[in-house]
Amino acid sequence: MARLDSLIIFTTVVKANNFTNAAHQMGLTPSAVSKQISLLEDRLGVRLLNRTTRSVSPTEAGQLFYNRCSRLLEDLEEAEHMVKDLETSPQGTLRISATPTFGRAMLMRIFAEFLKQYPNVNFDLTLADKGLDLVRDGIDLSIHLGSLQDSRLVARPVARQKVVLVASKDYLDSHSTPQHLNDLIDHHLLMVSGIDFAEPRWIKRFIKEAGLANKERRFTVNDLDTLCEATLNGMGVAALPLYLIRQHLDSGKLVQLLPEINFPTRTIHVVYPENRYLSAKSRAFVDFMASYFENNNLDDLPVKSAKR
């Protein structure tokens, strides 16, 4: 069997964690798969897998070999896509990651509009508060809010996230409406914490200016959607991203407070590995998302697209 085939079999076995599942995926018998792994180990002169009756796992050498083989096979697949993309329109599965709040609040609308223009593209969306390893996790694009720490990634700006101070109409009906920042001393404060992308330290300087540094918070939670619900239910005053609450402001359920306060805006980027070929479907989505925010005055302030 060709050397490339043996590498494909080996990586499939590692991903599947046993010979039977790997054999089923490749249309082979478990014995044929086991034999090819043994031949590969003999050729390399090292044991690659720890075997039990139910599962297999890579040895230290096997893990190193798997990491390199995976990259080689990804490069081969990428080369094939590069050639195919020259003659085809965007199609296939686009794997995207985003924060749960942004994914729920914005991406479904964007996906629906994108599919009207590119019906042959499918979406595989992963929602996670923490950043993922795009190459390791097989992610094509990631929607990233705020500054980017990983220099191996390319980040294209598509919009800005604006934060506003709000409270529910019901809350304000039973409390005085703050006219100045220091009026917040008489109000219940709701805060988000423990979320990297939410950066609760944004409003610390405003809290300090208002003399609220030692004021006890009425409610603190590590989830923006829950913080929004708490605000809608009249629990107090919160600083929330405009894309999340725009519909509630339009309906009058929430009221913007102290509009003269300029919370720092953060750029929303579409991120991808710098050393990876950007497929036709990925390029189409990046361009579409940038134009979507530029052409629709919805939840974010548009920014000019960076040169690619």
CATH of the domain at 18: 1.10.10.10
Do 192 and 44 lie in a common domain? no
Residue 207, domain CATH: 3.40.190.290
- Its sign, for the CA torsion 150, 151, 156, 157, is positive
What residues form DSSP beta bridges with 266? Answer: 161
State how far the Cα of 284 lies from the Cα of 282, in Å rounded to an integer: 5
CA angle 237/238/243 to nearest 5° reads 135
pLDDT for res 226:
92
Do 51 and 186 lie in a common domain? no
Do 186 and 47 lie in a common domain? no
Do 213 and 173 lie in a common domain? yes
**Residue ranges, the chain, pLDDT below 70:** 1-2, 78, 81-82, 84-88, 131-132, 135, 146-151, 194-215, 275-277, 297-308
What residues form DSSP beta bridges with 255? Answer: 167
Do 97 and 154 lie in a common domain? yes
Do 198 and 62 lie in a common domain? no
pLDDT for res 140:
87
SS3 298: coil
Of 72, 106, 125, the residue that ends a domain is 72
CA angle 72/76/77 to nearest 5° reads 115
SS3 220: strand
Do 154 and 167 lie in a common domain? no
Strands 92-98 and 163-168: unpaired
Whether residue 279 is contained in a domain is answered as yes
Per the CB < 8 A criterion, the answer to whether 163 and 240 are in contact is yes
Whether residue 231 is contained in a domain is answered as yes
pLDDT for res 91:
83
Whether residue 82 is contained in a domain is answered as no
CA-based nearest residue to 131, from 207, 197, 194, 62: 197
Do 246 and 173 lie in a common domain? yes
Whether residue 233 is contained in a domain is answered as yes
> Phi, psi at residue 13, to the nearest 5°?
-65, -45
Whether residue 86 is contained in a domain is answered as no
CA-based nearest residue to 288, from 107, 154, 92: 107
Do 134 and 213 lie in a common domain? no
Q: How many domains does the chain have?
A: 3
pLDDT for res 206:
63
Do 14 and 150 lie in a common domain? no
Residue 105 structural domain: 92-160+267-295
- 77-123 tens-digit pLDDT: 767 766 766 556 788 889 999 988 888 888 999 999 999 999 989 99
Strands 141-145 and 92-98: parallel
Whether residue 77 is contained in a domain is answered as no
Do 182 and 106 lie in a common domain? no
